[in-house]
Amino acid sequence: MSDLARSTQFFHFTAAFGAGGLLTLMVLCNGTLAARGSLFFASWIPHLTGSIVALFLLLILRPKRAARVRPPLWVYLGGISGGVTVMLTSATMNTALALSGTIALGLAGQVVFSLFADMQGLFGLPKRSPTPRDYMSMMFILAGSLILIFLGGGA
Amino acid sequence: MIAYAALAVLAGLLVGLSRQINGRLALSTSALESSFWNHLVGLVFITCIALAIGGLFAGNPGDAPWWAYLGGPIGVVFIAAGSWLIPRIGAAHTAMLIIAGQMISGVLLDVILGAPGNTFARVVGVACILAGVWAARNPPKREAKIT
């Protein structure tokens, strides 16, 4: 791997890691809304303000379109999947699974889906086969996450 | 119980599905536009469900502190980042690194907010995750020749 490719990869990895940090802040904000209002409200408000902010950013930054042809309509439906996720997690959070079980099983779902998606090159994204090293890395990250979820809390 | 467990796994699958679809949209448009559509379509969807079921403004939503309303703008950056990254480093790396970042920043936040917790478990958990992140980058030269 060349130095340039390595530093590009480092940048991508740092960005993904940082996005995880953003997710923590987002969960804190939305969870605080949910503590006062309804679960619908806690999902509706961030979607509303997010749409407005994204629209403003689009108008200001005017990012270049990668392709001139419009993509098929179904690629606009990612938001529905996100909306269903909110409802499912708020449903399971209040069962015996609790928040920790919901998060842990959600991680399992994400890992299985992402491996499948990579191997298939799902929806026309680049196809890639995970290496043994990727699996090892995944085991470490999952093990650490489970330790934090089930043993790291105060209970 | 099994049914709820299945729903929790399904929620995780849907997170991956939505990231994959948004990533595909970003390939044709841009990461920011993909994030915009994700939010707008999600907003319409949630509005319909909330209108059908009711209770959108139940409780005392007005009591929430002002900063709790920042989740939306943060989400715009988060979704754009995911859509941008997934075609570049793949779904598995994107998911794993986001999880790693979320877990470790969660511990940091807990420490800052003074939430009670098991320090030993936190140290072991964070060390494990960092080892995993280190293993993910730094591919051996043998693999580098193939790519």
Residue range B76-87: mean pLDDT, rounded: 96
DSSP string of A39-99? HHHHHHHHHHHHHHHHHHHHHHH-PPPS-SSPPPGGGGTHHHHHHHHHHHHHHHHTSTTHH
Comparing A95 with B126, which gets the higher pLDDT?
A: B126
Same domain, residue pair A93 and A135: yes
The helix (H) or strand (E) run that includes residue A142 is helix A132-151
**pLDDT by residue for chain A (155 residues), tens digit each?**
678 888 888 999 999 999 999 999 998 898 888 888 888 888 999 999 999 999 999 999 998 888 888 889 999 999 999 888 877 887 787 777 777 788 888 899 999 999 999 999 999 999 999 999 999 999 999 999 999 988 887 54
* pLDDT at residue B140 in the model: 55
Q: Given the structure tokens 């591919």, which residue do they identify?
A: B139
Residue range B80-84: mean pLDDT, rounded: 96
Same domain, residue pair A80 and A131: yes
Closest residue on chain A to B147 (Cα): A1
Closest residue on chain A to B89 (Cα): A12
Distance from CA of B87 to the nearest CA of A (A): 6
* pLDDT at residue A155 in the model: 45
Cα dist. A95→A89, A91, A92, A145, B59 in Å?
Answer: 10, 7, 5, 21, 21
Q: Which of B18, B101, B124 comes nearest A18 by C-beta?
A: B101
**Is the distance from CB of B12 to CB of A92 less than 8 angstroms?**
no
Q: Do B109 and A28 touch (CB under 8 A)?
A: yes
Same domain, residue pair A42 and A59: yes
* pLDDT at residue A154 in the model: 54
Question: Is residue A74 less than 8 Å (CB to CB) from chain B?
Answer: yes
Same domain, residue pair A150 and A83: yes
Question: Which residues of chain A have a CB within 8 Å of the CB of B98?
Answer: 16-17, 19-20, 23
Same domain, residue pair A59 and A79: no
Same domain, residue pair A57 and A92: no
Same domain, residue pair A95 and A23: no
Which domain range does residue A84 map to? 72-155
* pLDDT at residue A121 in the model: 92
Distance from CA of B25 to the nearest CA of A (A): 5
* pLDDT at residue B74 in the model: 96
Question: Which residues of chain B have a CB within 8 Å of the CB of A89?
Answer: 8, 11
Number of domains in chain A: 2
Final residue in a domain of this structure, among A16, A31, A63: A63
ipTM over 0.85: yes
pLDDT digits (tens, 9 = 90+) for B52-69: 988 888 888 888 899 999
CA distance linking residue B90 with residue B139, whole number of Å? 15
Same domain, residue pair A59 and A77: no
Closest residue on chain A to B54 (Cα): A40
Final residue in a domain of this structure, among A39, A63, A87: A63
Taking each continuous run of H as one helix and of E as one strand, the counts in chain B are: 5, 0
* pTM of the full structure: 0.90
pLDDT digits (tens, 9 = 90+) for B3-47: 888 888 999 999 999 999 999 999 999 999 999 999 999 999 999
The overall longest dimension of chain B from CA atoms, in Å, is: 59
Q: How confident is the model at residue B142 (pLDDT cuts 50, 70, 90)?
A: low
Interface test with B, best of A114, A115, A138, A150 (most B CBs within 10 A): A114
Same domain, residue pair A103 and A138: yes
Same domain, residue pair A111 and A155: yes
Same domain, residue pair A47 and A105: no
Final residue in a domain of this structure, among A63, A83, A110: A63
Same domain, residue pair A79 and A59: no
- Best CA proximity match to A148, nearest among B12, B10, B101, B74: B101
Query: Between chain A and chain B, how many beta carbons pairs sit less than 8 Å apart?
Result: 453
Closest residue on chain B to A56 (Cα): B36
